[in-house]
Amino acid sequence: MCGIIGYVGAEASDRPLAVVMEALSRLQYRGYDSAGVVVVGEAGLAHAKKAGKLDALEGELAARPLQTASCAVGHTRWATHGGPTDRNAHPHLSQDESVAVVHNGILENHATLRQELRAEGVEFASETDTEVAAHLLARAYRDLGNLPDAMRAVARRLEGAFTLLAVAADNPKEVVGARRTSPLVVGLGQGENFLGSDVAAFIAHTNRALELGQDQVVTITPTSVSVTDFAGNPAPTREFTVDWDASAAVKGGFATFMDKEIHDQPDAVRDTLLGRTTPQGRLQLDELRIEESLLRSVDKIIVVACGTAAYAGHVAKYAIEHWCRIPVEVELAHEFRYRDPIVTVKTLVVAISQSGETMDTIQAIRHAREQGAKVVAVVNTMGSTIARESDAALYTHAGPEVAVASTKAFLAQITATYLLGLYLAQLRGVMFADEIRGVLEELDLMPAKIQEVINSEGEIRALAERMKDTRSVLFLGRHVGFPVALEGALKLKELAYIHAEGFAAGELKHGPIALIEDGQPVFVVVPSPRGRDVLHDKVLSNIQEVRARGALTLVVAERGDRAVLEHAERVFWVPQTPTLLAPLVAVVPLQIFACALAGAKGLDVDQPRNLAKSVTVE
Ligand code: M6R
């Protein structure tokens, strides 16, 4: 949460502020409660900060322009300690205005530090945990005489998770960062350098980036980057090239990022499949650098993830258990970490995350590895903490996902876990080669099928428009349709602020059916009639149960399934698809419905209230 950007260039100019403001517009998806900037020029520090979205800060800067500068730092906030007000916005300056800091994370010992500083006469200007870091840093800077040493001294005193960036009033050619658990990457420019909470911060200027490790301090000047641990010892770094450019993170003619990202889905699935099979149709996952003997001996898989990524894990469970005959548990990462789970060296943990920075998932990974399990990350963001801290990373190639509500990353995650399942089946010899080839051929057809669903979006958009005053919507599914129902409900909740619940269709009669009254809209995800007939027929019975009680049934069904017609007020057709792969098409109408309904209500589809794209606090 919170987006951070730091920039340093050779000459004093308007560029630092322009770079930082452009970066904040890209980083807003990480949090948008307030935004602020600080620049360092001839006259020392100058800053501006405002509650609200970035346009409030833009207005402030138009009214009161800042001096030219050679370095600048910016922040967009998702509030934790202290409400979303002007004074709690970052940057925070020390009382003597010698240093300014921005922060992402939570300083868990801020109360003790605050007391200590108050006893020394420091007056606090905000209710944030961050402000203690500004005052501590000013004190250390006075004592030690340089900002990197001062930052290391402060970092050693802080508990919790943090990325901190700092500048000093008397040094316009240096930005110093520190990270523990929260994300920070370096962008390598020519005669200029960058720090960002993710590569989106500087992708318009460079695609060369450096990963930073845990507990490291980085100092950038126009021509140098140096990285140490908190004790001051030089630390190793790894350079990587970002494989997308700034054009991938613009709306490209769509009204919202979410609209664009829904339309990106065929490519997200295609790119995730690309280059992972040999010409002979054998799966080859080069990134899976875990000894084959270990993967053969795995006796349990635990998927850890949160939100939409966890629903991708639910789909994976059905597929991997069916193909590999290995038991798969799916666990919300925050529950896994704190319930003393049974994990052994034979457990394979699969951590799924778009951002690669979800703190709950990071903690789950750490816990699993401490117990001796191997962790495979299914992750979209190169160089992210989850990718680095796992034993292997199987990348989804969805490209940058900017809208807070996940869409294309979900489809890419499902696709990657299919590949993982088929790879394990191949390795363990539990499926015939031609069976695996058959599934891979079906997977290759999925981008075109997803496109077909997107092409028919008009109908579902029209329905959403008509339903904009709806107060509650239920979603039902069985088997892989169940996680699809859960995802459909989550999309509607987070985008349209409508009460929505997803249920396993069979569970309805055990209680939730009491919610059904006349006119209650119920989406039902119907499995293929060509697959396991029993499943299909059971869902038709479930539709009848709710319909008999007055529900308005809105059905997602496979084209040609004439049996559904008599049970549904409306049918949204998706192409014929093998049951296990069906979530890739069945969820698309539900995404479009939520996006269109939120739009019809005049809501901010890309930045729903109270949410942030990357949840870097527990
Ligand atoms: O970056 P991650 O995939 O780890 O994020 C996990 C969840 O926070 C995320 O999927 C969240 O539920 C989205 N808002 C869903 O649209």
Structure tokens at 59: 């207005």
According to CATH, the topology of domain 3-242 is Glutamine Phosphoribosylpyrophosphate, subunit 1, domain 1 (3.60.20)
Query: pLDDT at position 251, please?
Result: 79
Average pLDDT over residues 255-266: 94
Q: Which CATH superfamily is domain 457-600 in?
A: Glucose-6-phosphate isomerase like protein; domain 1 (3.40.50.10490)
**Residues 300-321 pLDDT 10s:** 999 999 999 999 999 999 999 9
Distance 485 CA to ligand 1 centre (A): 16
Chain center to CA of 79? 17
Comparing 13-22, 239-248, 250-259, 470-479, the range with the smallest average pLDDT is 239-248
Boundaries of every domain in the chain = 3-242, 257-454, 457-600
Query: pLDDT at position 532, please?
Result: 63
Q: Is the pLDDT of residue 14 over 80?
A: yes
Q: Quick check: is 71 catalytic?
A: no
358 ligand 1 Cβ < 6 A: yes
407 ligand 1 Cβ < 6 A: no
Query: pLDDT at position 533, please?
Result: 62
Tell me how far apart the alpha carbons of residues 46 and 44 are, in angstroms, rounded to a whole number: 7
Q: What is the pTM of this model?
A: 0.82
**Residues 514-549 pLDDT 10s:** 999 999 999 999 999 986 667 899 999 999 999 999
Which amino acid is located at 513 in the chain?
Answer: I
Closest CA to 14 of 66, 61, 50: 66
3-class secondary-structure state, position 242: coil
Which amino acid is located at 15 in the chain?
Answer: R
612 ligand 1 Cβ < 6 A: no
Distance 283 CA to ligand 1 centre (A): 28
381 ligand 1 Cβ < 6 A: no
Higher pLDDT: 384 or 495? It is 495
**Residues 127-182 pLDDT 10s:** 999 999 999 999 999 999 999 999 999 999 999 889 999 999 999 999 999 999 88
Residue 301: φ, ψ to 5°: -115, 135
Tell me how far apart the alpha carbons of residues 81 and 453 are, in angstroms, rounded to a whole number: 43
**Residues 194-244 pLDDT 10s:** 999 989 899 999 999 998 988 999 999 999 999 999 999 999 888 999 877
Given a contact cutoff of 8 angstroms between Cβ atoms, the answer to whether 91 and 38 are in contact is: yes
Domains 3-242 and 257-454 belong to one CATH topology: no
Query: pLDDT at position 400, please?
Result: 87
Q: Quick check: is 493 catalytic?
A: no
Structure tokens at 29: 């998806």
Structure tokens at 332: 């919300």
Among the CATH numbers 3.40.50.10490, 3.40.190.10, 2.60.60.20, 3.40.50.300, which is that of 257-454? 3.40.50.10490
State in Å, rounded, how far the first CA of the chain is from the last one. Answer: 11
